[in-house]
Structure 1
């Protein structure tokens, strides 16, 4: 009568119902901490139940997910997430992990995330048990100019009058100060833009510091971009430690999609398109993909490869939300080499997977609890099932079954991070820094220490008593260089292109 939805019917004719509890919450859900002025009960197509309560301003105050639990009255345990807001509606506090079992309201495993904002609604701080303490500062246009990660890493940025990023650097403490010289150790990246001609306003060049001076990497790291008269990028010159790699787009179609690309080393990649996107792909004239077809919904139905093999894809109808049903692969002579079959439960989760590869069958069925967590995985043979269990924060704590028993414990102070894993009599241990990045891992294969740069990129992995591997990244965070412990190097200037260089040699010649 109030125009509110009471049922939602999907294309699969499965129904989610919403009840507006004008008489209040059920007695077993009632608790002084779970207040609010409007309550809803949502029942999903698989029967799982969620309660939601709102305040007078229509803001979600708490959400409770029901888990079947025979140890609680009404055979149900409520997993609760609560929200607090400031006067303009920004979320300032999120509390997770509380449970209600009968009359027992437990907050023993509850964790909290707090946030603060300025008068413009921009986030000033984030305090999270997994991510640590973050702080933010802005320029008058709203760009983040200073970011602090648990006081361990401070990154700074400047922008031009058009809002384009111009410089990035890091400081160990205090204010950002002046932009450092590009030769300074705390310099990160500098951007310049096209001022005239083709590509006006677009990025002209980027220079950056990979932070590997201590490892003898002192050469230039930069990008240069060239554009045609239609402002399409046609040439990228990437310099890594003084070594140039060039990528060129040689031709476009009428929709400005690349038809021909030349990689460093002269390799020519050609691609064609149909109505739905990429259709064929070849490298130096050798076909990799000779054709793709799609059904009327735009889903891929067949992929033909250059060697004659192909894969077909079949889909369920509306009763299964048009999800993937079969993926079958064949050799060029038509003989089948693999067949994958999928089925799904009422809310779209895989509950059956049958795989036949080279005549050998592997069949699995899966079940989930009312919180959507995987509970069992059963193979089609007699080897037995796998059972999964979780804590109040939905962390996986054990896997038991025919593989034996695997147990997990959280790292103290990091409620969602694995601290130890025990499997087959072996113990694996993990350690983290204040912002949740894994800095240590050890097990039967050895112990390793990991370091990260100020921008969150993995910068080194050191085996205790062994070699250290270092990693360098471009200004956008893509890995471009790996220094191996044996002195060899791997350049990855572009996605999908890699050059291995042994110690004492140079990389592939420039095009």
Structure 2
């Protein structure tokens, strides 16, 4: 049994965590309970304590992380706590920018290259743009949405539009991808009543059918009929499960099957197979108590693995190869010893700076540019390789020079705006010359022009390559190649290549039940339990670690780096340093002893699909994308499958299912999505867009430097693909992944762990070379998860749409589980009563804080890949935001789904949706129960609704009603003219002044109605959300007016000028001063806060006095709204409640009684978020109000028994700056910050204890 032991402090902070193997992590904290150190006690190979130090600012923002080796990452934040700059240990700086919703919209690297995102008012991403260091836009990808938030169009930088269509349940049913001006690919999708996708029809009209069992698990996949396999059994895959939902039996056409066995922890321990053309060796796996793979079967024995306490492999032994690894205190590999010898790696400030390979023992020194990319590689003796980059961060030049500064070899790359490689000009290598490439609008390669001439490529609507120069090809309905002008091909029922025939000569192929190639013409192969080739026709292959990159093939040795990248090769006495291009192809090698190096004696060139076309000398058996290539068959071992460069396709069917994205990804045989120069396929399962950053010698280079260059934003652009691969593979029919036992899993796990480390450290350096293709896949992946949600009733679906449309993050979908554990959400089977549906309408709000919280907390906790991602998404989407009910002609935002009673004003309901409510709960009852405003609607309906809940549900419903009372009272006061006072009708606007509504429309203020929703922002926190208008104020008579001329494109007179007319006392938020200024005090150059993020500034003001009818609003909670200058919304304060005396303190220590006895306002009846919003409003926007802090019950967070009032306040202030739910401490932090910002005088805050005044001087940490 695996156990984890945790020791905690008196305040609940974790002191030590001891894992199931005895590995221990220790933590220490400062007086404010902020973690200051984390010590990992490592026992293997030697005992050592690895200490990471954490530093903070006064607002509890993490400002520094010092690694065990002393490498320091520093972070800088803005006034609302957003990370705006991170500096890596090596000095590389990344800048971040945010919109007023708190979304990260700009990321710039150390060279000023920037990625910019834009959103609409509903949180939908509308465009991605890349900018150069001068701020010029280089390219933009745009997205369009329908009213339900479904992405309906994606427009690339060339204005090519891919469109998407949906059914009434918002499920994708059709996708249309342009190919030419007159041709397009249309694919379609079908679903069952539960929302499972049951049909995919490709561009040629061939349909694949899917079925699901009663638990919603995939049960069968039925591919189209073909002339060679027309019967259903010859084209059907089925999956059987045990009681835990684990795939135990997988049957494939042709009577082939696999049986799986799991241990009590759900880990695959054994797998056997039957059928196929050759005998299938059984697979067995063993694990330690921490779930790490410790043993794997091989044909002649067992491979074993050991680990250090950080989970890194220390040693491997067995038939597949022996190796040992060493690491520095930061976990970076410093040595690796395998059959080739010992390699060493050096680091400076966390960055790889030197490599010495295990064959030539030649040291390579690396330097970097300001963005953290490799700039040079020095091979010694004056031999230097230099990389250049374009404005999107892609390598556009790669030059090797000798000591005489003469060019030995070079390559220059050119790209189009979609990131496709359009030119490659090479010198000094085989086949040198200029190469150009063309593509269709679907991104598939259509032409290659080289010094030898032009070859044209053509594709069908299923993504099959039907022409390559003069050769044409045909395919069946299952995308299996039948003829290609050279051969005719036959296949097994399960889709593995069986034979190819030319001029009457037939060559045979065979696969085992695991779909591993065992015979290819004259060659035979055997595999270990990790599906790695360990024997080729009797010759042994050797590996190091868990990776599938070979280090010896019985003829040649391959020296590799810390991420398995190729460094050098050796065969007998011939030792060579290897060179790869941007695709990872091994293109050249040179003798390390050749210090003059005038030419490269060994080089190779390839066609776009990897077929060797010219060679000088011998570069060895590693070729296309750096993978091992059989010299007899020409096929490339890509891990899960073998690839044939001659056909440009794989020889067996991919077991990973298509989920979303370009339709060519549904083709189970196509390589690299039809763009072989832009993608590689690192595992044989899924294409990966090339980052095209500098490679020291292989496509694995950047993994070696992932301490710096792997980034949090990579999780968006590249991690999205890994999540999709992981989830798809976990749910697939033919390749159910098991923990630690496949290359795909390990690579995904490694990438996610690296991403997590950098999220935690703040090293979030977004790569501006992220492609439009990858971004589109991320959008499509989110849409797929959205479509897969469980069906609820039609009325409930309508209510859910607005909530789910804002959240487009696949990462969130996969990581929701740990956040929602223990929270019971609305089930899909609930029936919404007609009486409730009839009075419910949607109220749109932006739940961006919810989305960010999910993403950030999930990333910090970093749950592993979870099979239940869709299920988690189903539940998350049922968090309902605001819904409005028309009761007695008044819009009351009460929050309703499935008859739920409660208030959604607090944002995402603070997780209180932990109960299922059914029955005739009347929203009107909530309003009536508030008393006063519309009592006639009455408590009867509310009572009936609560009675319908029954038992424990009634109690939960009662709490929700209490949460909603404050909202109802506020609106009631507005109705009855008892709003508690306001800033007065003198602070108003003329009637034609337009107001920004919550749905993005503009409405003259005189037409705004009670209960309408406007967009509101708390500028001190950045919190933005739709809010209810709770009172209308109209004034008339002689008014002091100010005509404010606003420039909407820039400050001080530049740009278009618009005019707003306000009364002299109306407050405007001045963004650059971070404070409210009345209209009469505005001066040219003052910059406004705007909702659409366009610059807007005061150009001029004109004061006048005249009779006028003016209008103002009271806005719930946030007390702000936007008035519109031309088309630009400008933030102003509302006519909110006028406060004179406000009481704060602890509920349990008499705050209510004291406040009511003294006539002071309190916020005890408000929800947490509403109370905090009101405190912010009072503290920052009502400087004349006196705030009374009742300190009874205040305690020091460190447990110290006695403390002065000043010490108690400081402790609460600092405690309130952290990420916690301590309401009173957060209130003290708000008060202190309002004083620091100059929005309130310290003397306006009064402190009492035991009924006596305990005032103290302004603390020094508040400045002034």
Show CA shifts across 1:17-41 (max 9, x none). xxxxxxxxxxxxxxxxxxxxxxxxx
1:87 CA drift (Å): 0.7
Residue 208 of structure 1: aligned partner: 109
The SS at the match of 2:208 is strand
In 1, Cα distance between the equivalents of 2:213 and 2:370? 43
Q: Which runs of 5+ in 2 are unaligned?
A: 43-48, 373-391, 400-409, 427-433, 439-768, 773-1264
Instruction: Please say if 1:325 is aligned against 2:219.
Output: yes
Residue 146 of structure 1: aligned partner: 64
1:222 CA drift (Å): 1.3
Residue 407 of structure 1: aligned partner: 303
1:471 CA drift (Å): 10
1:469 CA drift (Å): 10
Residue 273 of structure 1: aligned partner: 166
CA contact (8 A) 2:178 2:185 kept: no
Residue 24 of structure 1: aligned partner: none
Instruction: Please say if 1:164 is aligned against 2:68.
Output: no
Instruction: Please say if 1:116 is aligned against 2:17.
Output: no
* Structure 2 counterpart of 1:366, from 246, 260, 266: 260
Could you state the TM-score of these two structures normalised by the residue count of structure 2? 0.27
In 2, Cα distance between the equivalents of 1:246 and 1:446? 47
The SS at the match of 1:351 is strand
In 2, Cα distance between the equivalents of 1:431 and 1:233? 44
Residue 188 of structure 1: aligned partner: 93
In 2, Cα distance between the equivalents of 1:129 and 1:256? 49
Instruction: Please say if 1:436 is aligned against 2:328.
Output: no
Residues 440-451 of structure 1 aligned to structure 2 (within 5 Å): none
Instruction: Please say if 1:387 is aligned against 2:292.
Output: no
Kindly indicate which of the two structures has a greater share of residues assigned to helix: 2
Show CA shifts across 1:374-428 (max 9, x none). 2211112564422222334443222225x333423324x4462222334545334
Show CA shifts across 1:325-365 (max 9, x none). 11233268995675332222222222112233xx4x54211
1:169 CA drift (Å): 0.9
In 1, Cα distance between the equivalents of 2:207 and 2:353? 40
* Structure 2 counterpart of 1:237, from 114, 119, 129: 129
In 1, Cα distance between the equivalents of 2:10 and 2:312? 33
CA contact (8 A) 1:432 1:440 kept: yes
Residues 129-144 of structure 1 aligned to structure 2 (within 5 Å): 132-144=50-62
Q: Which runs of 5+ in 1 are unaligned?
A: 1-64, 66-78, 98-108, 173-185, 210-218
Which one has a bigger Cα radius of gyration?
2
Q: Judging changes above 3 Å, is the alpha-carbon distance between structure 1 residues 125 and 297 closer, same or farther for their aligned structure 2 residues?
A: farther
CA contact (8 A) 2:413 2:425 kept: no
In 2, Cα distance between the equivalents of 1:497 and 1:324? 36
Show CA shifts across 1:190-224 (max 9, x none). 23445xxxx78755543212xxxxxxxxx642123
Instruction: Please say if 1:283 is aligned against 2:213.
Output: no
* Structure 2 counterpart of 1:419, from 310, 314, 322: 314
* Structure 2 counterpart of 1:346, from 243, 261, 266: 243
CA contact (8 A) 1:342 1:354 kept: yes
* Structure 1 counterpart of 2:16, from 93, 96, 104: 93
Residue 4 of structure 2: aligned partner: 81
Q: Judging changes above 3 Å, is the alpha-carbon distance between structure 1 residues 142 and 324 closer, same or farther for their aligned structure 2 residues?
A: farther
Q: Judging changes above 3 Å, is the alpha-carbon distance between structure 1 residues 341 and 118 closer, same or farther for their aligned structure 2 residues?
A: farther
Show CA shifts across 1:428-454 (max 9, x none). 444434333456656569987788997
Residues 210-229 of structure 1 aligned to structure 2 (within 5 Å): 220-226=112-118
In 2, Cα distance between the equivalents of 1:384 and 1:137? 54
Q: Judging changes above 3 Å, is the alpha-carbon distance between structure 1 residues 453 and 193 closer, same or farther for their aligned structure 2 residues?
A: farther
In 1, Cα distance between the equivalents of 2:367 and 2:284? 39
Show CA shifts across 1:56-98 (max 9, x none). xxxxxxxxx2xxxxxxxxxxxxx4432211112222212223x
Residue 304 of structure 1: aligned partner: 201
The SS at the match of 1:259 is strand
Q: Judging changes above 3 Å, is the alpha-carbon distance between structure 1 residues 203 and 431 closer, same or farther for their aligned structure 2 residues?
A: same
In 2, Cα distance between the equivalents of 1:256 and 1:421? 51
Residue 580 of structure 2: aligned partner: none
1:367 CA drift (Å): 1.2
Instruction: Please say if 1:251 is aligned against 2:144.
Output: yes
In 2, Cα distance between the equivalents of 1:449 and 1:283? 49
Instruction: Please say if 1:378 is aligned against 2:296.
Output: no
Kindly indicate which of the two structures has a greater share of residues assigned to strand: 1
In 2, Cα distance between the equivalents of 1:329 and 1:236? 37
CA contact (8 A) 1:449 1:462 kept: yes
Q: Judging changes above 3 Å, is the alpha-carbon distance between structure 1 residues 244 and 283 closer, same or farther for their aligned structure 2 residues?
A: farther
- For the aligned residue pairs, the C-alpha RMSD in angstroms reads 4.8
In 2, Cα distance between the equivalents of 1:391 and 1:200? 46
In 2, Cα distance between the equivalents of 1:272 and 1:81? 49
Could you state the TM-score of these two structures normalised by the residue count of structure 1? 0.60
* Structure 1 counterpart of 2:38, from 100, 107, 126: 126
Alignment coverage as a number of residue pairs: 384
1:276 CA drift (Å): 4.4
Show CA shifts across 1:232-259 (max 9, x none). 5544331478996423325321134432
